[in-house]
Structures are given as structure tokens and as C-alpha cells.
Structure 1
Amino acid sequence: MSVVTTTSGATDDLIDLVADFRTDAVPSDVRRECTRAFVNAMGCMIAGGGHEMVEAASNGLAVFAGPPSASLIGRGQKADVLTASLLNGLAGAAYSFDDAYSEALLHPSGPAVAALLAMAETRPLAGADFLACLALGMEISCRLADVIASSRDRSWIAWSQTGICCGAGVALAAGKALGLARDQLDWALGIALSQAAGTRATHGSMSASLIFGHAASTGLRAAILAQQGFTASSGSVEDRYGFASVYAKEADLSLLTKDFGLAWQLKANTYKPFPCALLIHASLDGLLQLKRENAFPHEHVESISLTVPPAAITLCSRPHPMNEMEAKLSLEHWIAAAAVYGKAGIAQGSLSVVNDPRVVNLRERIRLEGDAGVESDAARITIALSGGETLQRTIDHCVGGVGRPMSDHQLEEKFLDLSSTSIGPERARQVLDLCWSVNEARDVGAAARAAC
């Protein structure tokens, strides 16, 4: 049975805040973080646009799509707004190279960017307003995740937080961009939450990334429907059978609106330096440090022992991944691949590396131990080498996490590495410049068209 800690009216309180939200009141540091989120999300979408899962989805949906009006990032094509938001959201998650927020393992920026960009190509949106709406959508997604999953012990781990939270954030972000009235914002939230979905059983398949595209299109569709007077029940968050009671063992709805507009949770959002599940990063950071410092041949590795948070084992222990999708969530794969190749980029997640006999062999010699005292961005690693030598490293805060966030320069390098292969280095630089200067843009749709 779920326990919901709140006073009545949490939904009304949130909608009041959103209705009164002024896009010109977003602080400069929040705008800057949303600009960084935009840079990261665009790089991921450009790289993912050519992925086989996006190709399959595009081919399947094309015959049913409406008139092409919005760019498919990294594909050189267009689709209707709802299809574009779905496919671009899917592309952004294709390589699991996106962003991550807190203990909730939420990925708040990709769905919001995909939806707002698609909408902006049919309804011109200035860059400053785009960033403000992006901030609103990300913030609401983060706060909804905090309500139900600020501690993993309080949440149903079976749910994908991105799937159940981000559609609602997108709905209110798009609703604000569309100029919805208060009642329409309330309906948009209710419509989106009624379609919240995404289970962790899909991890290791294409459907895990589809969750992101679904959140983008669900939220945008909810706002469009609400604009036309399509209604939803009030109290969609705190109702006896609403969001909080469905998705959490114990929910604290005071976190939904506390210091809203003053304390911004999205400032704790981070960007991935490795294209795999976040809970793999600390171990991978430690392995790569030891590899760089000691240059040990992988043939000399007798065993690798990792001490990690229990959730890393629950969600990421996959010693025998069968394909690229499963490898994204395999702690054993990434440690073995990094030990063999000395790198951890998109190439190391490819099927050829998954099936590389050297990597397969080394995966068998990796041992995992869960320790509840190890934080989600931490790990301890011990490598036993032939001849008796032992290498050890403790990572207290992994690269890319809140304690060691990626710099603007690192985000630029990541963007150019991701996008240059798809659209060429010259266009990649052009799009990057448009992303960094988005706050001054008259029409943010120009960035989407440049990245198409």
C-alpha cells in the first residue's frame, strides 16, 4: 500500500505556480545550465538519428505520419510534430549518452528538448522563451521524481522514472510555450499523467529508449489536446488513485512545490561522459584511470573485483549481454571493454566489441560486491594481475557526476565527437554555436533545421 504525505491540493498548488511562472524571471545560472542541457541533448540526438532503432521506428511510422513540418535531427528528413518529437526523443536516448538527475536516475532534458524543438518549427519560439520553458519542464520532471524516488527504498524500482515523470514536465513546458490558460495547464498535466509509462523490464531492448520518445510525444500531445478543451480530472498528482499513490511506496508531495522558482533542482542535473547506464560510470572511471596510469595489458588481468552500490548490481549486472542494447546496461561488459581497449566510447558498445573474444573472456573474471555504504557515484576497484601485482582505486565521485561535473569544454568535445560523424565537422561546429547562443536566438527552430 502506498503512503502519500501531503496536504490536499498539491496539483492545484503546482498549476498555480506554473500559470504565474514568468519566462523572463528564470535566473541566469539556471539559463546557463539549460543551455548546457540543450548542447548535450542535441549532440545525443544528432548521433542517435542514424541508429537502427530510429531507422526502424521511422520506417514503421512514416506511412501513418501527417504532413512533414518538423525536422528529424541527424536524419535529413521531416515529419509531423508528434512523430518528430517521438523520433528525436528516441534518437537522444539511443546510445544512453544523455543526462542524469539524482538518485531517481531520471533523464529530464532529452524529452523536453525534443518536444519543444518540434513545436518551435510550427510555432516560432524565441530562444530565451525556449530556455525558460525547458527549465520549467526539467524542473517539474525532477521534482516529480523527488516526490516518489528521492530514496530508492521509497520507490517502485520497476518503473522508469523518465517514463512516468517526463511526459508531465513536457506537458507543462509545452503548455506554457503555447500560452495555455490555467485550466488548460491542469488538463495537460492530467492527460500526460494518465499516459505515464515505462518499465525497467524493457531495459536491454529498443523499447528502453522508446520511453524517452514516448514521454516527449505524450507531453506535447497532452498540451495540444488541452489547448482544444480536452479535459482531465483535477488532483491528478495527489488523488487517491493518482500519480503519487500509483508510482511510489511512499510519496512526499511537499517536495513538488517547496521553494519553487527559488531553489532549482535541475541544477543538480549531470551529463554522461560514457554511453552506458549511470551506475556503471564510477567503476568505469576507476578502471580507465588505472589503465592510463599503469598501461597493463589485458592479457595480464587475472581478475577484477568491484565494490558498488547494490542498485548497480540489481540494474547493471549482465555478464553475458547478447547485443548492443543489453551491453549498454552491462557493468561487466564496459569494465572488460575498457580494460581491453583503454576507451569507453560508442565504439566500445558496438556488437563487434560485445562479441570480441578478448572482452567475452575478461567478463568472466569480473566479480561484483554490493555495499549499501557506497554512494551511487562511487566505487572501489581491485585488479589482480599475473605475477601477483594488485592495482586498486577508490572513486568517491565519478567524472560527470555532481561532485565532478563535465566542463563546458568537455561538453563541446562530446558534442563534436557525437555529431561530426553524422553531419560532418563543419555543420557540427555550426550547430554547436547555435546551441551555445540559444538564449539570443530569435527562432530556436533554426537549430533544429541546421541539425536535420
Structure 2
Amino acid sequence: MNTDTVADKSVSIADQIGNWIAGMDAARLPTSTVKAARMLLLDVTGLCVAGREESYIRAILASTEPGGRCTAFGHTGGFNAYDAALINGTAAHGEDYDDTFEGGPVHSGAVVVPAVLAVCEREQLGGDALLRGIAAGAELMCRLSLVAPRAIHSAGFHPTAVIGALAAAAGVSAALRLDARTATSALGIAGSMASGIIEYLAEGTSTKRMHAGWAAQAGIRAALLARGGFDGPRTVLEGRHGFFKAFAPSRPPNFEPVLDGLGQSWIMDTIAFKPYACGTMTQPFIDCAIALAERGVKAAQIREIVCDVGEGTVHRLWEDLAVKHRPPTAYAAKFSTPYCMAVGFFDRKAGFEQFTDARIHDPAVLELAAKIRYRIDPDNEYPKNFTGHLRATLADGSVLELRQPHMRGGAREPLSPEALNAKFADNAKYGGWNDPLAHAAQRWFSQAFDAATLEDAAQFRQ
């Protein structure tokens, strides 16, 4: 269905998605999908705790209204659903350590989990609603990201932000058991709430951090408006003035990835969980830099490093190259492949402590970053696969070439449950939780989908 129109005007793309949402049954979800949903819940919550004291979260808190029955993990008191979703979504996405879908790329968990959890607490729903909502929202977000690959970024928008509003609306609609027509309207309404430009790249400012939280609260609002009788366009996706015309005008939309196997196969099962706290496509390059260091190469021996890259990554992760060599802020450093490679080379990791104001000004790291440049590989698989490469020329003229064929943590080499639990424990500790509280949270997550209500989430407001 490579078209921007619908042959049968009586049944739109959103109508078909609405029917799928209305028929969602948590009891019939595959075991692999339940596992993926549980991993999203665990990973997102650990990141919420890790980021709870960051300055941008304090700014978000200053914008909220106190009171409500919804939980913002790691914060005292309750919040209304919109504020809880905004806080949790911003914290989960704030350090770019959250999950990603390699075909998109989009970050599903930081949008969908906060939206669905908040509405479940607001409406006093149980674990089956939480599971339904996470599965519906994450699945739709991954599928929508395949409609027009690279075109949303090319238009200057953030796919997680704009697609996220529709995905959150779908997840909340599923949790609330909205009927098909109402769920379709929720998608239509969310199309007008979608927003998020990528100009944060210019100076490394914080707007990208709030995109997931903003999309989460938009999805809640859209679903509740629809439930109240507000209507939205059924042709929100494929219409002449629809979502993809607005946010991805350079490429004709192909809706086959959205509808093909919808309800029978679950691509959210392949969601990747990051080993490093930085931009998704930089991750395999960090692996290459660490592998170079582990061969015994010293930074002083390196004359230059040239990386083969996908053209679609250049404008976010490589250019302006002079700025990427000396990122102006710790946040900007997360989207500088030269910096990420350099700090990975020295530290053998790229976690929270590698992206601080002090670390990004380390002369040795910056000296190595300045030696790293790129060339476009026309055969690179991006965005279908995220690969890494470096060709290092040493002072003695010798050359070392290293490749990482895929993203670790993704479908080709997933993180184990043990590794993800360790990541959660590290994030909880970084955020100030003691071991008993972290262990209690892990136990709660393992049982959350079976709970009659989610009232026990209130124990994590600290």
C-alpha cells in the first residue's frame, strides 16, 4: 500500500488500527510480547529514578500542579495523570539511555509506559489494562516508524515525539477499552497534538528530553477527549493534509508495515535496550572504539580515525563536525559520535558519568575526538540495521580496521534479563534508591501485569 490515499474511503488506516485496539486481549498476547512489555516497564522506571534529581526534571516539576493519584517514580506525593506522564517520560528519555526500535528509530518505552501507567492509576485499573496498553502503544509506535523511514528526521521533526503522540493515544485507548470508533477518534485527535522539532541539535539544549513526556501526556488527553465525545479525522494518517504529509513530506508513505500482520505478529518483541547512555546510532561505533583500545592501542599512537557511516545519520551525529569535535554541553555530547567514541576509548564505557560538564572538557578526550571523521558509505544498511566501523591510521603508518555488524542490545544480540536487571539496579542506585527499595521495585514489576489494581505503585514515590 505505497500510497497517500485510501482506495476505500469508508475504511481508513486509523479505522483498522482502531478495530485492532478495541479487540486487544492481554490474555492472548504471545509470551515474547509480555516479556518485552515487562522489560520496557523495568527499563523505563530505572531511568526515571536515575534522572529524578537532574536540573531539567526540577524544571519540569516546577511547571506541575501538586496533588493527584498518579506516581512519578522517585518523587514524593501524587500528581495528575498529565503531569505524572510528563515527569516520567522526560526522565526516562532525558539521558538517551532508553530503548530504541532499530527500524525507526523511535523510543517506545519512554512514551508509552508513562502514559499507560498514569491513566491506569487515574482510572484505578489493573495489570491487564497496563499490559494491554503497553503492548498496543509500543507495537503501533514501532510499526508507524516504518511508514516513511528517515523522512520525519529529514523534515526537522523528532520521530519519537510526533509518532509518540499517536502511540500513546493508542496505548491509553487500549487500557481504557475504548470502542473502535472512539479509539480511531483518539488517533485523529493525537495527530493534531503531535509536535517536536530537532533544533536542540544546534546548541545541545534540553527540548528533546521532554519530547517523550510531552507525547505521553498528549496521548492521554487525546484518548480522554475521544471518550468524552470529541471527534478526530479518520484519515489522520493517509489524508491529503494528514500526519505523514505534514511530518514526512519528502517520501510517499507505505502503510503495509502498519497493517501487515497487525494482531498476529508483534514487532515490538525486537525492541533494543541500550548498553550506552547516548544516541542510538553511536552505540556500535563506541563498541569499535573500545575494541581498538582493548587491542592495546594508545591514544597518542592514533593519527586519524575514519568511520564509514549511513548518510541518514550525518546531520544529527556528525555535522557540524567542528562542533561534534568539541560539544558545547554534556547533552550535546550524547549526539556527537566523535566524542562518544573518544570517551568510550578511554573509559571502556559510556554511562552517566561519561556525559558530565567536567568530562566533556577533558583535553585528552577532545584531542582524540578531533582525530575522528567520517565518510558516507552508500551501502550502509541504516535504518534497517545500525552498524559501526572505524579505520585507524597509526603514527607508524599501520592501519587497523574494526567493524561492529549490529547494535548490541538489539534483535541480533539482545541484552539478557540479567543484564537488564543489572542496568535497572545501577540506575536505581545512581538515583539514590537503596537496595531494598530497588529489589521491591523489581518484585513489583514481575507481578504488575497480574495485579487487580496498581495502587501499590505509590510505594515508589520516594
TM-score for both structures, normalised by structure 2: 0.91
RMSD (CA atoms): 2.1
Distance 2:357 2:422 in 1: 24
Instruction: Provide the residue aligned with 1:174 in structure 2.
Output: 172
Instruction: Provide the residue aligned with 2:137 in structure 1.
Output: 137
Match of 2:271 among 269, 290, 295: 269
- How far off its partner does 1:269 sit? 1.2
2:291 partner letter: Q
1:324 partner letter: A
- How far off its partner does 1:216 sit? 0.4
Match of 2:363 among 357, 365, 387: 357
| Structure 1, unaligned runs of 5 or more | none
Distance 2:370 2:123 in 1: 54
Match of 2:13 among 6, 10, 14: 10
Please give the secondary structure, in 2, of the residue aligned with 1:261: coil
1:366 partner letter: I
Instruction: Provide the residue aligned with 2:321 in structure 1.
Output: none
| Aligned-residue identity in percent | 24
Please say if residues 17 and 184 of structure 2, whose CA atoms lie closer than 8 Å, have aligned partners that are also in contact.
Answer: no
- How far off its partner does 1:52 sit? 1.1
Instruction: Provide the residue aligned with 1:34 in structure 2.
Output: 37
Please say if residues 56 and 206 of structure 2, whose CA atoms lie closer than 8 Å, have aligned partners that are also in contact.
Answer: yes
Alignment of 1:109-120 (within 5 A): 109-120=109-120
Please say if residues 154 and 251 of structure 1, whose CA atoms lie closer than 8 Å, have aligned partners that are also in contact.
Answer: no
Q: Deviations over 1:177-202 (max 9, x none)?
A: 22323332122111111111112222
Q: Kindly indicate whether residue 421 of structure 2 is the aligned counterpart of residue 415 of structure 1.
A: no
Please say if residues 5 and 252 of structure 1, whose CA atoms lie closer than 8 Å, have aligned partners that are also in contact.
Answer: no
Instruction: Provide the residue aligned with 1:428 in structure 2.
Output: 438
Distance 2:97 2:455 in 1: 23
Q: Deviations over 1:282-336 (max 9, x none)?
A: 11011112323x2433333332222222223221012221001211101011111
Alignment of 1:75-154 (within 5 A): 75-149=75-149, 152=150
Match of 2:332 among 326, 337, 344: 326
Please say if residues 166 and 187 of structure 2, whose CA atoms lie closer than 8 Å, have aligned partners that are also in contact.
Answer: yes
Please give the secondary structure, in 2, of the residue aligned with 1:137: helix
Please give the secondary structure, in 2, of the residue aligned with 1:197: coil
Please give the secondary structure, in 2, of the residue aligned with 1:121: helix
Please give the secondary structure, in 2, of the residue aligned with 1:122: helix
Q: Deviations over 1:106-159 (max 9, x none)?
A: 11121111111222223223223311210001111122222232xx36974522
Q: Kindly indicate whether residue 311 of structure 2 is the aligned counterpart of residue 310 of structure 1.
A: yes
Distance 1:94 1:274 in 2: 13
2:47 partner letter: C
| Structure 2, unaligned runs of 5 or more | 319-323
Match of 1:257 among 226, 237, 259: 259
Please give the secondary structure, in 2, of the residue aligned with 1:4: coil
2:103 partner letter: E
Please say if residues 71 and 457 of structure 2, whose CA atoms lie closer than 8 Å, have aligned partners that are also in contact.
Answer: no
Instruction: Provide the residue aligned with 1:192 in structure 2.
Output: 190
TM-score for both structures, normalised by structure 1: 0.93
- Structure 2 vs 1, CA of residues 335 and 131 (structure 1 numbering), >3 Å: closer, same or farther? same
Q: Kindly indicate whether residue 378 of structure 2 is the aligned counterpart of residue 375 of structure 1.
A: no
Please say if residues 21 and 173 of structure 2, whose CA atoms lie closer than 8 Å, have aligned partners that are also in contact.
Answer: no
Deviates more, 1:205-214 or 1:367-376: 367-376
Match of 1:401 among 410, 427, 449: 410
Q: Deviations over 1:344-390 (max 9, x none)?
A: 11111111111111112221111211212123321221333444554
Please say if residues 97 and 276 of structure 1, whose CA atoms lie closer than 8 Å, have aligned partners that are also in contact.
Answer: yes
2:141 partner letter: S
2:352 partner letter: I
Deviates more, 1:397-406 or 1:154-163: 154-163
Please say if residues 70 and 122 of structure 1, whose CA atoms lie closer than 8 Å, have aligned partners that are also in contact.
Answer: yes
Deviates more, 1:411-420 or 1:227-236: 227-236
Distance 1:436 1:310 in 2: 41
Q: Kindly indicate whether residue 335 of structure 2 is the aligned counterpart of residue 337 of structure 1.
A: no
1:179 partner letter: R
